[in-house]
Amino acid sequence: MKRKIYSPDKPVAAWSSLDRLSDGVIPSLTMVLRTYGCYWSRNHQGCTMCGFIRDSAPVPPSPDDLVAQFRDAMTRRPDGEFMVKIFTSGSFLDAGEMPLEARSAILGELDENPDVKKVLLETRPEFVTQETIAACKSVIRKKLEIAVGVETSSDDIRLDCINKGFLFRNFIHASEIAHQHGSSVKAYLLLKPPFLSEGAAIRDTIKSVRDVSAYAETISINLCNVQKGTLVEKLWRRGDYRPPWLWSAIEVLRRAKTEDPDAIITSDPVGAGSRHGPHNCGRCDRDAADAIRRFSLSQDTGELEVECDCISLWQKVVELEDVSYGAPLSR
Ligand code: SF4
Ligand SMILES: [Zn+2]
């Protein structure tokens, strides 16, 4: 797969926005550091929807390069107090991807910054060990959040539709370790992996919110989009995959929040409105995506009231795709 041209001391991306935590909304800085890439993608074909390996470096960046990327990203910080979210398109806690020297230097600089209130680190669960979390906590005294892309509570869907390669009990184990060290946990769920009907995808994510809420303080629902070089892209090109309807995301958020009003459930509809992203009919996509963003900050289901004629088509799709064995009935 072709990789993009890059400079080793610049991050893939960094931007500031707002994040919803259990105690309110906080400005945040999100950074995606360019590492050698996710080992699961390099050695095990990776997950069916994940094209992040295109962002990875062809040779492992040096610890100095990784720290330089971090410092560059920090220049895009918001004013005042903020939260930092670090992604590597893999696992920040994998020492093969983020050398210990770079990890300590980055966490040390975050610890010394008085404006940083909380730090989120994304990782696969196998890297959440007693030793690793204790080592991180010895460098950083700020609130730490461990984020895991568990995607679904169904092992069958996670293994067979996503090729994620770990079990729900591995996520629970990681959550327990993080909590033992006083860290909070964020679970990322995936709405509509390939091979599921629209209705099955909705039901799976609602059930998954219920199942992960015992182990995670915040839950973020990623709406599957078509990334280059993935199995999902191959299916999409031949008409065997359609990204989720935004109505489905709205339905999941409304029902999950109503079931568990205390859970913090968010979603950032990346790529909404395009054919390779979550979409409705084209006319209401912007309104639906804005509603999802507003709900994610306010947690008020009243924000999810959107109207468009295409809702009846979506309802038919949800009803009929279960008898088309998941084959998409709309584009
Ligand atoms: S989704 Fe995460 S675990 Fe899966 S290949 Fe991509 S970076 Fe790796
Ligand atoms: Zn519409």
CA of 323 to the centre of ligand 2 (A): 24
What CATH code would you report for 13-323?
A: 3.20.20.70
What per-residue confidence (pLDDT) applies to 2? 56
Degrees to nearest 5, angle at CA 18 with 299 and 289: 60
Q: Give me the residue label for tokens 């993935």.
A: 230
Ligand 1 proximity of 149 Cβ (cutoff 6 Å): yes
CA of 286 to the centre of ligand 2 (A): 10
**pLDDT range class, residue 4, cuts 50, 70, 90:** low
Helices (H), 83-238: 100-112, 130-139, 155-156, 168-180, 198-212, 231-237
- How many Å apart are CA 20 and CA 17, to the nearest integer? 10
Mutate to test the pocket of ligand 1, among 41, 98, 123, 126 (most ligand atoms within 8 A of CB): 41
pLDDT of residue 324 exceeding 90: no
Q: Is the pLDDT higher at 287 or at 328?
A: 287
Q: Average per-residue pLDDT in the chain?
A: 95
Query: Ligand 1: which atom is nearest the Cα of residue 50?
Result: 6
Mutate to test the pocket of ligand 1, among 1, 32, 38 (most ligand atoms within 8 A of CB): 38
**pLDDT range class, residue 331, cuts 50, 70, 90:** confident
**pLDDT range class, residue 81, cuts 50, 70, 90:** very high
Ligand 1 proximity of 152 Cβ (cutoff 6 Å): no
The pLDDT tens digits of the residues spanning 58-68 come to 899 999 999 99
What per-residue confidence (pLDDT) applies to 288? 98
Query: Ligand 1: which atom is nearest the Cα of residue 37?
Result: 7
What per-residue confidence (pLDDT) applies to 44? 83
What per-residue confidence (pLDDT) applies to 6? 79
The pLDDT tens digits of the residues spanning 109-157 come to 999 999 999 999 999 999 999 999 999 999 999 999 999 999 999 999 9
* Ligand number nearest to the C-alpha of 289: 2
Ligand 1 proximity of 123 Cβ (cutoff 6 Å): no
For atom 6 of ligand 1, which residue has the closest CA? 50
What per-residue confidence (pLDDT) applies to 326? 67
Query: Ligand 1: which atom is nearest the Cα of residue 49?
Result: 1
pLDDT of residue 1 exceeding 70: no
- How many Å apart are CA 74 and CA 100, to the nearest integer? 20
pLDDT of residue 325 exceeding 80: no
Query: Ligand 1: which atom is nearest the Cα of residue 164?
Result: 4
CA of 222 to the centre of ligand 1 (A): 13
What per-residue confidence (pLDDT) applies to 130? 98
CA of 35 to the centre of ligand 1 (A): 13
Helix (H) or strand (E) holding 150: strand 143-151
The pLDDT tens digits of the residues spanning 45-60 come to 899 999 988 889 989 9
Any idea where the domains of the chain sit in the sequence? Answer: 13-323
User: Whats the size of the chain, residue-wise?
Assistant: 331
CA of 2 to the centre of ligand 1 (A): 17
pTM above 0.85, yes or no: yes
**In the β-sheet with 82-87, what is the strand arrangement from edge to edge?**
13-21, 24-32, 82-87, 116-122, 143-151, 184-191, 218-223, 264-266
**pLDDT range class, residue 283, cuts 50, 70, 90:** very high
